[in-house]
């Protein structure tokens, strides 16, 4: 992923995903949301965009930072969330159509980008706490203040809500465990 012929399409795809996601998927919702909650509305497009500077930092050999941890966690969390959302949507009886399949595949790419970034991050305790705090606030915004993505079938909302909250806590626990394992190995 360090070669220009690989890096350039990845950057373009993420920028395109950001623009299309904001316009097509979240435009109407952003117009109805108070400006101070905007950072919590377009989760997937936002983290696709935030990947670009994180990726550039990795390419420059500066990938070990709190920003890259936050971005990696967001890419994985919201990539998984989108796949769970589509699988739940199909499980309640909706037909499998090309848009859902395309969204699952593109969000699988987000998951892979997050895993890629994690390879370069050796998180400190406060980085993990900062990441946890951001995503707890994001979960509160989504499920208390109502900024979660609009659903074509609200029956899947409880699945997504509890999945999202569990991912924040279990993902943070996993990061903490990995940090402790590295500390034990380095002793």
- Written as one string, the DSSP assignment of 112-142 is HHHHHHHTT----HHHHHHHHHHHHHHHHHH
Q: Domain limits at 99?
A: 4-186
What pTM does this model have? 0.93
Q: Considering the chain, what is the average pLDDT of its residues?
A: 93
Sequence-distant (6+) residues with CB within 8 A of 179 are 122, 123, 124, 125, 128
- pLDDT bucket at 13, cuts 50 / 70 / 90: very high
86-119 residues labelled b (16+ CB within 10 A) or e (exposed): bebbbeeeeeeeeebeebbebbebbbebbebbbe
Q: CA–CA separation, 104 vs 187, rounded Å?
A: 41
pLDDT in tens, 162-186: 999 999 999 999 999 888 877 655 5
Please state, as a whole number, how many other Cβ atoms lie within 10 Å of the Cβ of residue 128: 22
Total structural domains within the chain: 1
Please state, as a whole number, how many other Cβ atoms lie within 10 Å of the Cβ of residue 82: 22
What pLDDT score does 5 carry?
Answer: 75
**Continuous H helices in the chain:** 4-20, 27-32, 43-59, 66-91, 98-118, 125-143, 157-186
């Amino acid at each position: 992923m360090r070669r220009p012929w690989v890096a350039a399409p990845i950057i373009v795809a993420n920028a395109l995903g950001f623009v299309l996601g904001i316009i097509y998927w979240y435009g109407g919702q952003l117009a109805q949301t108070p400006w101070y909650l905007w950072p919590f509305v377009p989760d997937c497009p936002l983290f696709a965009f935030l990947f670009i500077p994180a990726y550039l930092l990795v390419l420059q050999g500066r990938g070990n930072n709190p920003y890259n941890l936050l971005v990696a966690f967001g890419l994985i969390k919201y990539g998984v969330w989108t796949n769970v959302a589509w699988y739940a949507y199909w499980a309640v009886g909706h037909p499998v159509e090309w848009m859902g399949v395309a969204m699952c595949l593109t969000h699988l790419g987000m998951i892979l980008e997050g895993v890629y970034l994690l390879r370069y991050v050796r998180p400190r305790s406060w980085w993990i706490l900062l990441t946890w705090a951001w995503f707890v606030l994001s979960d509160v915004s989504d499920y208390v203040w109502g900024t979660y993505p609009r659903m074509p079938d609200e029956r899947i909302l409880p699945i997504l809500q509890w999945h999202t909250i569990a991912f924040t806590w279990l993902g943070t626990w996993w990061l903490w465990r990995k940090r402790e394992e590295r500390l034990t190995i380095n002793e």
